[in-house]
Amino acid sequence: DKLALIAPRTVYVQAKTYYGGGEWYTLDLDYKRIARILRQAGYTGYVTLEFEGKEEPDTAVPKSLAMLREAFQT
């Protein structure tokens, strides 16, 4: 797994979400898997959110944060 190979060198994580669809987006990211790999590699830094979907930010950003919190706080 390429992520596991680079995870020990990770210094910054930016998570993208696309609620409501978005351009340039063709897959769903498994953030629970990503978080597990980063945790196993000893990553303790921040995870930032970049929202690019077409859903209204007032609803999509809270949904995005909840999803990321669930994935990264286990």
User: Identity (one letter) of the amino acid at 70?
Assistant: E
Tell me how far apart the alpha carbons of residues 74 and 59 are, in angstroms, rounded to a whole number. 24
Domain ranges of the chain: 2-72
Phi, psi of 13, deg, nearest 5: -125, 125
pLDDT at position 53: 86
Assess whether pLDDT exceeds 70 at residue 74.
no
pLDDT at position 40: 97
pLDDT in tens, 8-64: 999 999 999 888 887 766 667 899 999 999 999 999 999 999 998 889 999 999 999
